[in-house]
Amino acid sequence: MIDWQLYLALVIAIGLGFFLGARYGRQEDKKSAGQFIDENYFKGLNLLLNEQPDEAIETFIAALEVNSETLETHLALGKLLRKQGEVDRAIRIHQNLLARPGLTLGHVQQAQYELATDFVKSGLFDRAEALLVELVDKSGPYRVNGLERLLEIYRDEKEWGKGLGVLQQLSGSKLSRAYDEWAPIRAHFCCELSEEAILEGNYRDARQYIKQALSFDRDSIRVGLLLGRLEIEQSNYSKGIAQLQNLAVQNDEYLGEIIPLLSEAYAQSASTREYRNFLTRINSTCKHESVLLALSELIASDDGELAAAEYVAQEVIAHPSGIGLHKLLDYYLHFSEGKTKKYLVSLQEVMNGVIADNVHYRCKHCGFKAQTLYWLCPSCKKWGGFRVNQ
């Protein structure tokens, strides 16, 4: 027998018994107990005692007649079933509720909201969207909850434009979070649209979305990076370099994202001396693996691999790092042969494993760790929470 099914059936049985008992108590003058308590309740109890929880749940559901007194019980039962993964049953309960005439607006909205949540859980996003659009169209106690659920659907379905429309409504609602709390999320939605436009080569739209994102969050590192990327895509290398250099000075935490773009821009502009000076300046105030790698490559190309190996060795001794040691082994392999080379190859294999396990980022909200930067945490679904893992 599956334990949770038995548990669920027991909870329903107790809840239903309590409800029916309370109702009977109030009405005992009018009817006798045998007449009043639904025979389905006893049938359900019997099935439960015979270790048939699946059938018992069905029978208990049938025992609950929808009326103003049992409505909250139905809603609680629907939620419980969904939580236990019994989404089809939860859908049936909520659809059954909505089919009843005479519900208050608040209860209709609550049932719509719960049903939409069931649909989301079942992956029926179209049906959930249709229900929520209808729900948020009217004012009422569940409008804000409905808008937030709708936003989750558009986020998961990558419908960024529709999501922005919902965010606008949420930002203007007095019952929702403060305007300032929605603004950074609106900026992320604009960035998503801008990234899509860049991929399509539609740079005019991409720039418009960046402007819009800046109007919501002037200090967003993501918008800054995106602007740098757009300048490079449009071959505006000096503009891109200026943008990314500013970003690097102000946000050394994100050098891992900035340096590769900057290297790309400098590679096109052919002013490697200027780039080397910039990296040396950054390196004097902040130690970062991306700067170490970019500088070593410039030194190797200007002064040869031996000079680059000497530079990396000095840095690794002063500031030990897995990536630095791996790079150093790379250079040493070029200058070694025979048994020494064989040992170095084994050592590098070990280092490959160490580097592969490196965690670069961690979500400040839920602690999710990743090697790459996510703007939307895959675990807790919050925006902009990734920080460098210290």
What residue ranges bind Zn ion (CB under 5 A)?
363, 365-366, 368, 377, 379-380
End-to-end CA distance of the chain: 47
Backbone angles phi, psi at 104, to 5 degrees: -75, 160
Q: For residues 108 and 388, which CB has a smaller minimum distance to Zn ion in the complex?
A: 388
- Residue 117 burial (10 A CB sphere; 0-12, 13-18, 19+): buried
Q: Least distance (Å) from Zn ion to the CB of residue 384?
A: 10
Residue with tokens 């821009």: 265
Q: Which is nearer to Zn ion, 294 or 377 (CB)?
A: 377
Q: What minimum distance in Å lies between the beta carbon of 363 and Zn ion?
A: 3
Least gap, CB of 151 to Zn ion (angstroms): 17
In the complex with Zn ion, the residue whose CB is nearer, 177 or 369, is 369
CA distance 139 to 226: 38
Nearest CB to Zn ion, comparing residues 254 and 311:
254
3-class secondary-structure state, position 366: coil
Residue 379 Cβ vs Zn ion, minimum distance, rounded to whole Å: 5
Tell the smallest beta-carbon distance from residue 387 to Zn ion (Å): 11
Which residues on neighbouring strands pair with residue 387, listed in sequence order?
362
* Nearest partner of 171 among 187, 158, 154, judged by Cα: 187
Q: Least distance from C-beta 367 to Zn ion, angstroms?
A: 7
- Complete edge-to-edge strand list for the sheet that includes strand 361-363: 369-370, 361-363, 386-388
Q: CA distances (Å), 242 to each of 230, 246, 265, 359, 367, in order?
A: 13, 6, 10, 30, 34
Residue 354 or 366: the one with the smaller Cβ distance to Zn ion is 366
Residue closer to Zn ion (CB basis): 197 or 363: 363
To the nearest whole angstrom, how small is the minimum distance from the Cβ of residue 61 to Zn ion?
36
User: CA dist 359 to 155, 365, 369, 372, Å?
Assistant: 26, 16, 6, 8
Long-range contacts of 36-44 (CB under 8 A, 24+ apart): 38/63, 38/65, 41/13, 41/16, 41/17, 44/9, 44/12, 44/13, 44/16
Q: How far is the CB of 373 from Zn ion (least distance, A)?
A: 13
If the CB atoms of residues 19 and 368 are measured against Zn ion, the closer one turns out to be: 368
Q: State the minimum distance, in angstroms, from the CB of residue 207 to Zn ion.
A: 30
Nearest to Zn ion of 151, 282 (CB atom): 151
Closest distance to Zn ion from the beta carbon of 362 (Å): 9
CB 38 within 8 A of CB 20: yes
Q: Which is nearer to Zn ion, 368 or 375 (CB)?
A: 368
| Cβ proximity of 311 and 299 under 8 Å | yes
Distances, alpha carbon 65 to alpha carbons 117, 125, 149, 270, 379, in Å: 23, 29, 29, 78, 40
Task: Determine the angle formed by the axes of helices 203-216 and 221-233, rounding to 10 degrees.
Answer: 160
Helices (H), 138-254: 143-156, 160-172, 179-199, 203-216, 221-233, 237-250
Residue number with CB closer to Zn ion (213 or 363):
363
